[in-house]
A = this chain, B = another copy of it.
Amino acid sequence: MTIKMGLVGTGTVGGGCIDILQKHREGFERHLGVDVELARVCSLSPAEAEAHGVGHLFTNDYHDIVNDPDIQIVVELIGGTTIAKDVVLDALAAGKNVVTANKALMATHWREVMAAADASGKDLMFGASVGGGIPIIGPLRHSLIANQIDTVMGIVNGTTNYMLTKMAEEDMSYAEALAEAQAKGFAEADPSADVDGYDSAAKIAILASIAFDSLVTIDDVYTKGITSIDTTDLEAARDMGYVVKLLAIAHRMDDGIDVRVHPTMIPQGHQLASVGGVFNAIYVVGDFVGETMFFGEGAGAGAAASAVMGDVLDIAERLEQQVPPKESHLCTDELPIRRIETLSMKYYIRFTVADKPGVLARMAGAFAEHDVSIHSMMQRGAQDDGHVDVVYVTHTARESDIRAAIDQIAATDGLLFGEPSVIRVEE
């Protein structure tokens, strides 16, 4: 039986899928016993389809794919939450299996699209929505399924990791690192989705939903990007034995889920600390398996297409064996999301203050008043203008107390210059 697939979106990842199928179709038939044929491609650009040698399959109307009775698998690669959502829902309603790489769609409309898949009795797979080609959703659902997963934590955005690596290792400013990332095609002209952390937030929402079997949407994720990270902070981190990474973090707690994205100091010896450049890595802790980590290219045509086509082949094997879908699940549990204000962790805080007597005492007083205990304090080089940087690392403290202490310090006349820099610390 030949299984026909329709592709919606012929950009980088879509092109990679066409390449994989052209190169390996025969191999898939020999090794897996499934013959997958690209039957139709839809996009706004006939030129893209022609460039990959599939101009004869081109349409600019996705309904030509969704309404084709011979097509059994629809691959959605246009992204976003508007037309892409229509494509996915229409395809499921028409009885197609769907593969998508769309993190925004899954992190925003999980419940709706999963319910549509369940109602249609078809598969909805989205392995490429997190971590590019790194196998992570599959392992969480299969190899690691015997565990209670307690932590999923990772570097899931290559653009910001590239920038932070450049800033830390080559002493670039934020602006220089961004410009270089854009020049290399790692960052978009409008880099907001990456540098403000929303891309990471969508991915950790998806990972947390699977790992904890409890729905987490992008709106549940406390999100802070890297735009305020300064090389001063990266130097201070290095001197203290830390590295700053934009981490996406999800912890199972006794009373709910802690899920957030923010720049994080981690010890230089941590497995995630050595993940540089555009690479991604996801660290998973289960109650029996202990610590595991998954590493690889988080983006790029080949890596993401590898994940998309892995899902397509999984579905094709099930179609070939005439077995029902396996992957479509609404979450079973409804664990509450813990608000960040109620969490406790360690903090790095850098103030730029006037270099004069009494300043340290005032700050120490503010911390003490709000039950924030200080692990270390360090002055960093006096500046020409009579200002000095003072760096604190706290013991474990409640986020709300940290904020109150900082507010009190900031409200003291003539004490601070500029915004304090706050980076959470994960041991």
Contact = CB atoms under 8 A, between A and B. Distances in A.
Contacts of A318: 323
A142 interface: yes
B295 A296 contact: no
Interface in A29-50: 30-32
B145 A310 contact: yes
Copies of this chain, whole number: 2
Contacts of A24: 146, 148
A290 interface: yes
B146 A20 contact: yes
Contacts of A23: 148, 287
Given A305-B288, A306-B289, A321-B323, A294 B294 contact: yes
Interface stretch (A130-138, A178-186, A342-350): A130-138
B306 A317 contact: no
A100 to B, nearest CB: 15
Interface in A312-327: 312-314, 317-318, 321, 323-324, 326
Most chain B CB inside 10 Å of its own CB: which residue of A133, A134, A139, A292: A292
B292 A296 contact: yes
A27 B287 CA distance: 13
A245 to B, nearest CB: 16
A6 interface: no
A144 B306 contact: yes
B306 A288 contact: yes
Interface residues of A, number: 59
A14 interface: no
B290 A300 contact: yes
A90 interface: no
Given A138-B138, A288-B16, A321-B326, A306 B133 contact: no
A178 B287 CA distance: 30
A306 to B, nearest CB: 4
B321 A142 contact: no
A318 B135 CA distance: 22
A148 B27 contact: yes
27 contacts: A19-B288, A23-B287, A27-B148, A30-B332, A30-B333, A32-B145, A133-B288, A133-B290, A133-B292, A135-B135, A135-B142, A135-B143, A137-B143, A138-B143, A142-B310, A142-B314, A144-B306, A146-B308, A146-B309, A146-B312, A146-B313, A271-B295, A288-B306, A291-B297, A317-B326, A321-B324, A323-B324
Closest 6 CB pairs of A and B: A135-B143, A146-B309, A292-B296, A323-B323, A133-B289, A135-B139
